[in-house]
Amino acid sequence: MNIIVLVKQTFDTEEKIVVEQGTVNEDGVKFVINPYDEYAVEQAIQIRDDAGGKVTVVSVGPERAAEALRTALAMGADEAVLIHDDRIGHDEQAVAAALHAFIAQEQYDIILGGNFSVDNGAGQVAVRLAKMLGIPHTSSITKLDIAAGKAVVHRDAEGDLEVVELPLPALFTAQQGLNEPRYPSLQGIMKAKKKPFRELSLDDLNLDVGAVAARTARTELQLPPARQAGKIISGEPAAQAQELFRLLRTEAKVI
């Protein structure tokens, strides 16, 4: 079973966002694997351990994204590929095109990605990739069973549960609940250093700059208006409930 996992590096979810001159300041920020992609990596390792084969993790991004790939290798992935080229546009179409150029030349049975990235949150890249490769997909899965060249998955659709069957090769995006990602062990971290790690540019992928040009552009970036602490309602519970009700009706006018 050859499994490819799409890994994006994102800000740690604890990080405060600082906007400076129209961009998000990255100084001193801690970066992690996109939490949804961690589920994807974990699932890939489990399938490989069960069925044999190879797990390749791939990321499109700046040099520092190599750290996220190293973490995935330390978790147990076999190989990593970083697609890094400043000519790749910073939008989902561009990133999907770059991933496509690499993956279309690979042997794979399963592609796993995240449901969305916790920073940009567009939820496009993986599904775009499936379409570009011409393979079926199921997004937002919470269970994945593989048998006899087929996958049976559970999909979370706004709380509804769909049971979906599809043939391999196929692409899936991971939703919370799929599994419990492991932490890299010390041994895993040591081993990771010796695993194959490739860096590819547009030239290696024979990609034309036009194919990876962005179709959208950011025109402005701001912090949302800060929320202020409001009123604390004191007293006996019954009086608190009454007062809250009054405030909601007369002051906040929500009911």
Partner 1 sequence: MSKTFLVVAETRGGSLRQVSYETISAARTAGGTDTAVAAVLLGAGASALANELAQYGADRVYTVEHADLEHYNPQAYFAALHAVVQSAQPDAIFFGHTAIGKDLAPQLAAELGTGQISDVTAIEVDGSGETLFTRPIYAGKALEKKAFTAFPWIVTVRPNNITPLAPNATRTADTEAIAYPEPTLHTIIRDVVRNTSGKIDLSEAKVVISGGRGVRSADGFKPLEELAAVLGGAVGASRGACDAGYCDYALQIGQTGKVVTPELYIAAGISGAIQHVAGMSSSRVIIAINKDPEAPIFKIADYGIVGDLFEVVPLLTEQFKQALQP
Ligand X SMILES: Cc1cc2nc3c(=O)[nH]c(=O)nc-3n(C[C@H](O)[C@H](O)[C@H](O)COP(=O)(O)OP(=O)(O)OC[C@H]3O[C@@H](n4cnc5c(N)ncnc54)[C@H](O)[C@@H]3O)c2cc1C
Closest CA to 216 of 60, 91, 85, 86: 91
Among 34, 43, 138, 179, binds ligand X (CB under 6 A): 34
Q: Which does 166 bind (CB under 5 to 8 A by kind): ligand X, partner 1, none?
A: partner 1
61 binds ligand X (CB under 6 A): yes
Span from 43-51, 70-78, 82-90, 151-159 in contact with ligand X (CB under 6 A) = 82-90
Using CB under 8 A as the binding rule, whether residue 105 contacts partner 1 is answered as no
Q: Which does 8 bind (CB under 5 to 8 A by kind): ligand X, partner 1, none?
A: ligand X
DSSP 105-132: TS--SEEEEES--TTT----HHHHHHHH
Nearest one of 118, 156, 120 to 139, comparing CA atoms = 156
Closest to 138 measured CA to CA, from 108, 170, 90: 170
The answer for residues whose C-beta is within 8 angstroms of residue 236's C-beta and 6 or more apart is none
Residue 62: contacted member of partner 1, ligand X, none (CB under 5 to 8 Å, by partner type): ligand X
Tell me which of ligand X, partner 1, none is bound by residue 147, counting a contact when its beta carbon lies within the kind-specific cut-off of 5 to 8 angstroms.
none
Tell me if 121 contacts ligand X by CB under 6 A.
Answer: yes
The residue with tokens 């895993």 is: 188
Candidates 136, 191, 195, 197; binder of partner 1 (CB under 8 A) is 136
Structural contact between residues 77 and 194, judged by C-beta atoms closer than 8 angstroms: no
Q: Are 33 and 9 in contact (CB under 8 A)?
A: yes
Q: Quick one: which segment of 110-118, 136-144, 198-206, 230-238 binds ligand X (CB under 6 A)?
A: 110-118
CB atoms within 10 A of CB 143: 16
Shortest spacing between CB 56 and partner 1, in angstroms = 22
Residue closest to 93 by CA, chosen among 218, 211, 217: 211
- Pick the stretch among 29-37, 42-50, 184-192, 240-248 that binds ligand X (CB under 6 A): 29-37
With CB under 8 A, what is the number of residues at the site for partner 1?
A: 80
When asked if residue 92 is in the footprint of partner 1 (CB under 8 A), the reply is yes
Is the bond preceding 169 in cis, omega lying within 30 degrees of 0? yes
HSE-up of residue 149 (Cα within 13 Å, Cβ side): 1
Nearer to partner 1, 48 or 139 (CB): 139
Q: Is 167 in the site for partner 1 (CB under 8 A)?
A: yes
**Residues between 37 and 76 with contacts to partner 1, criterion CB under 8 A:** none
E-strand ranges in 21-149 read 23-24, 31-33, 54-60, 79-83, 110-114, 137-147
> Which of 26, 177, 190, 208 is the binder for partner 1 (CB under 8 A)?
177
Given the structure tokens 């791939």, which residue do they identify?
58
- Is residue 216 at the binding interface for partner 1, with CB under 8 A as the rule? yes
Binding site for ligand X (CB under 6 A): 6-8, 10, 13, 34-37, 59-62, 86, 88, 90-92, 95, 113-114, 116-117, 119-126
